[in-house]
Amino acid sequence: MTTLQIKEFQFDNCPWRIVWLGRINYPPGRSDEPRITVHLAQLKASYGDPLSNAAFAETDRHETVAVKAGLLAFLKLGSVWVNGIKVAPRQPAKRIDVIIRHDQIELLNFDAAVSLDGASPQPLFSPTRYRVGKQVFPKIARSWLAVIYNPTPQLKILAIPSTVLFQKCLATSPDAIRRLLYGEIDKIIDARSGFLPGKPITYFIELFKDFLDSEGKMAANLKADQVAEKEFARFRQALAVETVNYDRSRAREPETHLKLGLPFSNPAKISMSGKYLPFDSIRNGQMTQEWGFLATELIGFRVRLVFDRLIIDRKNNNKRGGNADDPDLQKSWGGTQKKAVEFGDTITVTSDEEPSDEFEKLAVETSGDFEAEGLEVIKEGKELQKYRNIFKSRRHDREPNGHGTTGDLTPGGSGAVEVDAVVGPPPSIPVKLDSFFEVLEKLNALGYSFKTIAASSVVRRRDQGGGIVSFFPREIAGMRGWHLCGDSVENAPPRGYIVAESHHGGIWRYLIELERKGNEKLSTLYVRAHSGSQLEGAELKTFMRNVAKANGWNVKMPPADWILVRIRHEPDKGVRAFVRNIVKVL
């Protein structure tokens, strides 16, 4: 098993406990990642329960270090470290199971006071409940906790630090942590992600290549769940306001603490470890002692998301798309990097250096993640790609690094940039086809769930509203100009068309709409196989090439097992009339 060693925690050979996770430090520029302040206290050599106040060393030694925020998955409250390596606790922490809802939570600061059952207000934390040290207390006083009153019949109060919630609900990987701290959710999943029309429990995302499929549900939840969206907005606002309003002329540091509640609409079933906290309470008119609980780690976390099906598409993952043979795709040279070094049993990391890929994998495994009840995850093939790879020989000591360049290669290096940094000029999407996308929206509202698909080697995606438009090839043997648009055949752009696919009532159905030239009148074509099975992309490409050769739907030899029905389309009568004509055929 691989062991992590954090260089900043190498104080001595004594045991040190993480007593709290403090504020976020943002670097002056974006060349470095944010850091999180970690407060540690030295323990006695003979300590038993590390969370016990009696475990503190008599010297009352404390250390405060700032490490890269990507390490958050490893930084568990109450964990013990010796010479920078986390060690197993001598006594297990107390453990409880609860079910909580987002509307039960009150966000309070570490130095807040609470009143239980009419008793006088008392500090949420005091040295007799949870000891952090006199020099540490003022540094963490404004840090945030999610507080729940009467979570179980046995507990009066439950306190979960926002950093602990962040670790379980959002901190899936170091790269995801960096993006979230900058509010860059759209750098994890594409902004076009969303619920599929007519399918309220199915959510579609395009996940960027730097993230694992297992991270998709975290990012999708932040986009799909209104409660999560509001929590994340408050989370970012709290960090941004403190950063902007920070007065650098003052001695104190900005109070950039994580502020996060429960980012789920549905109740969460949580198993957590931590420490019982004694509180004064009044029962039957008599002062008595009641118990609260501080969660230091969320061990198990189960919740039902607002969607039950998650479709994951990929961006920039070096897989062939439906338009892989498009001759207009811009050429890209793949970048390289040195092959990963084989690590031993220990990985040493420091915030002064970039972590290895091995560390990233270890962080994802350590994060634990939450369990989404009843979630079905579907991985889809890539619809579109922007680049085509140009092969070049590679040195034996190098391997692909997932980057590339569209420029000329230099002998001394890869000249690597992000593959999607430069986009070649695409053919313009025909305005005349916009009305058909409106038709599809109305059909989807009726429950038919049409989705546009790639049916050519040359395809483009609309920027607004989504949807794919296919194009005929610029050159088709024996053809002059029917498959092109414009007066000049030599410079005319290719003619566009839309192929929409629907699986309804156990039958796969297709609608094909051609771009019209001038006053040309063309019907829309309804297509399905006799068996009702799904048509292959290659079949549709071949059929559309034959449509071009026939200058329309009068294809000489259409597939024998296909049903072809022309649907009259009169644009001057409006979209609603056209939708009614289509529904009659469907």
Alpha-carbon distances, residue 163 vs 259, 262, 287, 344, 450 (angstroms): 8, 12, 33, 31, 43
The structure tokens listed for 469 are 């438009």
* 92-94-97-102 Cα dihedral, nearest 10 degrees: -110
pLDDT confidence tier of residue 113, bands split at 50, 70 and 90: very high
**Residue 161, beta-bridge partner list:** 145
Match 């929590």 to its residue by tokens.
Answer: 231
Q: How confident is the model at residue 391 (pLDDT cuts 50, 70, 90)?
A: very low
Report the sign of the C-alpha dihedral through residues 145, 149, 151, 157, in that order. positive
Structure confidence at residue 489 (pLDDT)? 61
Q: Does position 239 have pLDDT exceeding 80, yes or no?
A: yes
pLDDT at 63 over 80: yes
What is the pLDDT averaged over residues 437-451? 89
Asked whether the predicted pLDDT for residue 317 surpasses 60, the reply is no
Q: Which of 208-222, 307-321, 514-528 has the lowest mean pLDDT?
A: 307-321
Mean pLDDT across the chain: 81
374 HSE (CA, 13 A, CB side): 8
Confidence of residue 283 (pLDDT cuts 50, 70, 90): confident
Question: Does residue 411 surpass a pLDDT of 60?
Answer: no
Provide the pairing of β-strand 371-372 with 286-303: parallel
Question: 435 pLDDT exceeds 50?
Answer: yes
Contacts of 345 (CB under 8 A, 6+ apart): 1, 2, 3
pLDDT tens per residue across span 299-314: 999 999 999 999 998 7
pLDDT, greater one: 160 or 535: 160
Q: What is the mean pLDDT of residues 267-293?
A: 89
Q: Which residue has the higher pLDDT, 540 or 316?
A: 540
Q: Identify the residue whose tokens are 């991985």.
A: 379
Query: What's the confidence (pLDDT) of residue 110?
Result: 95
Is residue 296 exposed (0-12), middle (13-18) or buried (19+ Cβ within 10 Å)?
A: buried
For residue 14, which of 92, 87, 93, 91 has the smallest C-alpha distance? 87
The H or E element that residue 98 is part of is: strand 94-100
Per-residue pLDDT averaged across 468-497, rounded?
A: 79
Predicted confidence band at 410 (pLDDT cuts at 50, 70, 90)?
A: very low
pLDDT band at 387 (very low <50, low <70, confident <90, very high): low
Q: What pLDDT score was predicted for residue 30?
A: 57
Least confident stretch, 48-57, 138-147, 260-269, 402-411: 402-411
Say which residue, 119 or 249, is predicted with more confidence: 119
Q: Which residue in the block uniquely carries the two structure tokens 């207390």?
A: 137
- Predicted pLDDT at 461: 82
The highest-confidence range among 300-314, 344-358, 430-444, 533-547, by mean pLDDT, is 300-314
pLDDT at 318 over 60: no
Reported as type and span, the H/E element at residue 202 is strand 199-208
Give CA–CA dist 54/58, Å, rounded. Answer: 9
pTM exceeds 0.75, yes or no: no
pLDDT the model gives residue 118: 72
pLDDT band of residue 166 (cuts 50, 70, 90) is: very high
Given this model, what pLDDT does residue 197 score? Answer: 85
pLDDT-derived band at 428 (thresholds 50, 70, 90) equals low
Q: DSSP state, 581? A: H
pLDDT band at 413 (very low <50, low <70, confident <90, very high): very low
* pLDDT tens track for 323-382: 565 655 655 555 544 344 344 456 666 665 555 455 666 666 666 678 999 999 887 655
pLDDT at 17 over 70: yes
pLDDT band at 246 (very low <50, low <70, confident <90, very high): low
pLDDT (mean) for 272-283: 89
Identify the weakest region by mean pLDDT among 256-265, 271-280, 504-513. Answer: 504-513
